[in-house]
Amino acid sequence: MLCQGLAKESGWAQGVESDRISGANLDYADITVEVADGAATVTLNRPETLNAFANQMRQELAAAIAELGERDDVRVIVITGAGRGFCAGADVTATKQVVDDRDEQAMRDLIQAGRDVVTAIRKAPQPVVASVNGPAAGAGASLALACDIRIASERASFGQTFNRVGLHPDWGGTFFLPRLVGTAAAAELVFSGAMVPAEEARRLGIFNRVVPHEELAKETEQLARSLAAKPRLSLKLAKQAINRSLGANLEEMLDFEEEAQIRCAFSDDGVEGLTAFVEKREPRFGRRR
C-alpha cells in the first residue's frame, strides 16, 4: 500500500491486506510504514510542518528503512510525505535551540542521524523511490537525492536551501547533486538556495519524471508494482553496481559485472527468465524451483 494519502487517491488499498509495521522497536511517532503487494511505503507524517525533521523523525526513518531492507516480502520501498509537502528539511526552530545552547555534540548527533538515513537507503537491497508530492527543501531535497528514483508531482519543487539560514548542505547533497546535474548546475543550485519548480528539476535530471498531481498516486503505484515484479537479485546487484560505479574504474566494474552475472544466471529467477524466453511466455519471478 502506498502512503495513506496516495493509497486513498489511487484506490490501491482497496481489497488489499496491508501490514502496518509496529512493535517495541518500531513504535513510530512521526512516520507511518505500510506494506502490501511487495511494496513498502514510508510516509513522513508531520504535515503541519511540511514534514520537517524534528524529534526522533530521523531515527525513525533510518530504523524503518533498515528494517524493510531485511524483509523478504518487501521488493520496493517508496518514501513520500503526508499533506501538501514532501519534506521541508530540518525543523529550524529545533536546530536553533541546539545552536543557542552551544551544544556541538547535539548538532553532531542530528547530522549523524541524517547520515544514518542516507546510509540505510543506499544499503537497502531494494529500489527506493521518492514520490515527491510537494516541496522538497534542504535535507528533504537531499533525502530525495539519496533515493534511486524520483517521481514528482507537478506541484513539487526542489531546493538546496541550507544557506538561507546560514547552514551547509548535508545528507549527502554535495555527493549526489553534482553527479546528477554536473558541477556547474549543482553550484548554482547550492549557492543560490533557490527552490526550482518540478519541471525545471526534471530538465536538470533531478526528477526522473513529473506527472500531474492527481496522477502521482497512480504513477507511483504503477512504478512500484513494476519494480516489485522484477527479479529481486537482479535489482539488488544492479543497485550495488550503480552505486559502486561512482567510485570505481572500468576494470573494477567489469569484474563486478562478471560475478553479478554469474550469480543471476544460475539463480532461480535467472533460470526462470531464460526458460520463459525460450518458451515464449511471461516469466514468473520469485518462485523457487
Cα first-last separation, the chain: 28
Q: According to the model, what pLDDT value does residue 92 have?
A: 93
Asked whether residue 64 is domain-assigned, the answer is yes
Examine the domain organization and report whether 119 and 251 are in the same domain.
no
pLDDT digits (tens, 9 = 90+) for 202-240: 999 999 999 999 999 999 999 999 999 999 999 999 999
Q: According to the model, what pLDDT value does residue 172 have?
A: 96
Place of cell 498531481: 213
Examine the domain organization and report whether 208 and 245 are in the same domain.
no
Residue 286 has pLDDT above 70, yes or no: yes
Q: According to the model, what pLDDT value does residue 287 have?
A: 72
pLDDT digits (tens, 9 = 90+) for 38-92: 999 999 999 999 999 987 999 999 999 999 999 999 999 999 999 999 999 999 9
Examine the domain organization and report whether 221 and 238 are in the same domain.
no
Least confident of 13-17, 41-45, 145-149, 196-200: 13-17
Can you tell me the distance from the alpha carbon of 54 to that of 61, in angstroms, rounded to the nearest whole number? 12
Examine the domain organization and report whether 37 and 138 are in the same domain.
yes
Rounded to the nearest integer, the mean pLDDT of the chain is 90
Residue 241 sits in a domain of what CATH number? 1.10.12
Domain tally, the chain:
2
Asked whether residue 62 is domain-assigned, the answer is yes
- Helix, strand, or coil here: 33? strand
Confidence of residue 20 (pLDDT cuts 50, 70, 90): very low
Confidence of residue 271 (pLDDT cuts 50, 70, 90): very high
Rg (CA), the chain: 19
Examine the domain organization and report whether 162 and 77 are in the same domain.
yes
Q: According to the model, what pLDDT value does residue 55 have?
A: 79
Q: What share of the chain is helix, strand, coil (3-state, %, to 5)?
A: 50, 15, 35
Asked whether residue 66 is domain-assigned, the answer is yes
Examine the domain organization and report whether 136 and 251 are in the same domain.
no
CB burial of 253-273 (b: ≥16 within 10 Å; e: otherwise) equals eeebeeebeeebeebebbebb
The answer to pTM > 0.85 is yes
Q: According to the model, what pLDDT value does residue 54 have?
A: 85
Place of cell 544466471: 265
Asked whether residue 286 is domain-assigned, the answer is no
Taking Cα atoms as reference points, which of 20, 22, 101, 95 lies closest to residue 52? 95
Asked whether residue 287 is domain-assigned, the answer is no
Q: According to the model, what pLDDT value does residue 3 have?
A: 42
- Residues of the chain above pLDDT 70, percent: 90
β-pairing, 209-211 vs 76-81, is: unpaired
Examine the domain organization and report whether 32 and 144 are in the same domain.
yes
224: domain range? 4-228
Q: According to the model, what pLDDT value does residue 288 have?
A: 63
Examine the domain organization and report whether 118 and 100 are in the same domain.
yes
Asked whether residue 243 is domain-assigned, the answer is yes
